[in-house]
Structure 1
Amino acid sequence: MDLPLLFKAAILGVIEGLTEFLPVSSTGHLIIFGDLLDYTDAQSKVFKIVIQLAAILAVCWDYRQRITTVLGGLRTDPLARRFTGHLIVAFLPAAVLGLMFYKIIKGYLFNPLTVAGALIAGGLLILYIERRAYHPRLNTVEDMSWKDALKVGFAQSLAMFPGVSRSGATIMGGLMLGLSRKAATEFSFFLAIPTMLAATVYDVYKNWALLSGMSSDGYLVFAVGFVASFVAAMVAVKAFIHYVSNNSFAPFAWYRIVFGIVVLVSWQAGWVSWHDA
């Protein structure tokens, strides 16, 4: 049993769970901290996808009553069908573009320096959006039209670039469309479910040979990261929903900017030998 590797798995699991639903890019954090922890082999790339699934399951558990109501009402409730249709519409842009550019994204963009640049750019964009006059016209996700959902879906597709943040792109896109803070955040959470499930299934399919050939110790590493991510996400989701109703996203923007600058300075000064830099 490789105890140091299990410790790395637990750390990365906590990082994933805490950042998946915040507008700070969980993928970006996993890339940067995975590099710092020297966990960058082929197995690590699948590991980072699997622990994202744990965070999504945490949201499913937290919203289990709402999800059950929607699924149970698909045959009889027009609002349930409408909401589900909006999720499908919003999911499509990232699904199509992800299939088209999967190899390019995985091959060239998954490194700390591109993430740092995206963190800074995304932080500046959040500050710009927050300083605009904000007059929400849609107070709940039920108020959205299919066109609103499609626009949020295209906003989500920007997060294929690691460091942009899937939740950040969808929440900020929702705010620009006129969703209330809580509605934009909730729709982002629900949209994460099909998006991340699809991403996980696709990555598992692409890396099935690696997964099927893993040792029992390898599966234990995945299990530790999975549990850590699930628990951390449960905590983060509740706290974030409570925060967003009446607060600005500016603190997250400043965090992104400072974090991105620290990574770039550490590379320029030679303090850290980042991979692919």
Structure 2
Amino acid sequence: MLDQILQTVILGFIQGLAEWLPISSTAHLKVVEHFWGLTATPLFNVTLHFGTLMVVVFYFRGEVKSILSALVHLDFKSEYGRIILPIIVAMVPTAIVGLLYVWFFEDTLQTILAIGVTFLVGAIMVYVSKTGKESRDTVTYAMALIMGAAQGFAIFPGLSRSGVTISTALLLGLKREKAFKFSFLLSIPAILGDLVVEAYKQRGQMALQGFGPTELAIGVAVAAVIGYAAISLVSKVVASKRFHYFAFYTWLLGLTLIALVIAGY
């Protein structure tokens, strides 16, 4: 029981922290599974995804309420009404890239070597985001398409959703506060879609398999608390122009994983 709870806490902590920091939760969970044998059951994965969704909705509850109100009233001219269509536009390339990954690449890019290489690619993108010029206040449809495609590529283990979308927004010239906010609001429909797809894929394997209601609740609680703190941290780091610092961690981790694979681990 204690071992199960400890495993739940560890997995919840990793999910909550790495989902929102630009360091890829999927890749970290794969690494932990490979080297330490900690695995999350299908039901636990779906539950953590739901917890992840609730965290970002709660953090941006004011913005989400304003967006839903604008949508109900078909108000596309207010501050939050103006980002409804860009979010919808962005979801098209996100879905296309995600489907292409599932159809053609999912089985080949799950190795530790592939994850190590992808960490390096993501690190480069996060690092060069510091060169972006803050010249835009609004997200155009063209920017939304590019950011949506970037978010789609975040399905690759080693690429972070927040990392690629915030970096892309900054490189496109969006102001930092807007880049942070749009990135996370854009993640809500993406995570919801991911949750539905994951639940459908695992519909025949949703038994508890060792994770009882207590463990599930603990995992979600840990992921929620850590996730909320992680979003707050990203907000401060983006505002202070230090977002690119995360690249050093993923560079180091990527090189370490590649070295371990070469060494035969």
CA distance in 2: counterparts of 1:230 and 1:164, whole angstroms:
21
CA distance in 2: counterparts of 1:217 and 1:46, whole angstroms:
8
CA distance in 2: counterparts of 1:147 and 1:110, whole angstroms:
31
3-state DSSP class of the match of 1:65? helix
Segments of 5+ residues of structure 1 without an aligned counterpart are 273-277
CA 100–158 in structure 1, closer or farther in 2 if over 3 Å, else same: closer
Q: Does 1:190 align with 2:190?
A: no
Partner of residue 243 from structure 1, selected from 212, 237, 247: 237
3-state DSSP class of the match of 1:208? coil
Q: CA deviation at 1:210?
A: 0.4
Question: Do 2:119 and 2:158's aligned partners in 1 also have CA atoms closer than 8 Å?
Answer: yes
Q: Does 1:101 align with 2:101?
A: yes
Partner in structure 1 of residue 114 of structure 2? 114
Partner in structure 2 of residue 39 of structure 1? 38
In structure 2, what residue type is equivalent to 1:138?
Answer: R
In structure 2, what residue type is equivalent to 1:12?
Answer: L
Question: Do 1:46 and 1:203's aligned partners in 2 also have CA atoms closer than 8 Å?
Answer: no
Partner in structure 2 of residue 263 of structure 1? 257
CA distance in 2: counterparts of 1:145 and 1:24, whole angstroms:
27
Please list, as runs of the form range in 1=range in 2, the aligned pairs for 1:1-80 lying within 5 A after superposition. 2-40=1-39, 44=41, 47-74=44-71, 75=73, 77-78=75-76, 79=78, 80=80
3-state DSSP class of the match of 1:109? coil
Question: Do 1:175 and 1:184's aligned partners in 2 also have CA atoms closer than 8 Å?
Answer: yes
CA distance in 2: counterparts of 1:247 and 1:236, whole angstroms:
16
Please list, as runs of the form range in 1=range in 2, the aligned pairs for 1:155-234 lying within 5 A after superposition. 155-211=150-206, 213-214=207-208, 217-234=211-228
Task: Count how many residue pairs are aligned between Structure 1 and Structure 2.
Answer: 262
Q: CA deviation at 1:198?
A: 0.5
TM-score, normalised to structure 1, is: 0.86
Identity across the alignment (%):
29
CA distance in 2: counterparts of 1:196 and 1:165, whole angstroms:
13
Question: Do 1:17 and 1:52's aligned partners in 2 also have CA atoms closer than 8 Å?
Answer: no
Deviation digits for residues 232-274 of structure 1 (CA, Å, limit 9, x no counterpart): 111111122122112222210011000111222223234x4xx
CA distance in 2: counterparts of 1:195 and 1:105, whole angstroms:
19
CA distance in 2: counterparts of 1:121 and 1:45, whole angstroms:
28
Deviation digits for residues 132-158 of structure 1 (CA, Å, limit 9, x no counterpart): 3x321223xxx1122211111111122
CA 263–63 in structure 1, closer or farther in 2 if over 3 Å, else same: same
CA distance in 2: counterparts of 1:241 and 1:217, whole angstroms:
33
3-state DSSP class of the match of 1:136? coil
Q: Give the RMSD, CA atoms, in angstroms.
A: 2.1
3-state DSSP class of the match of 1:23? coil
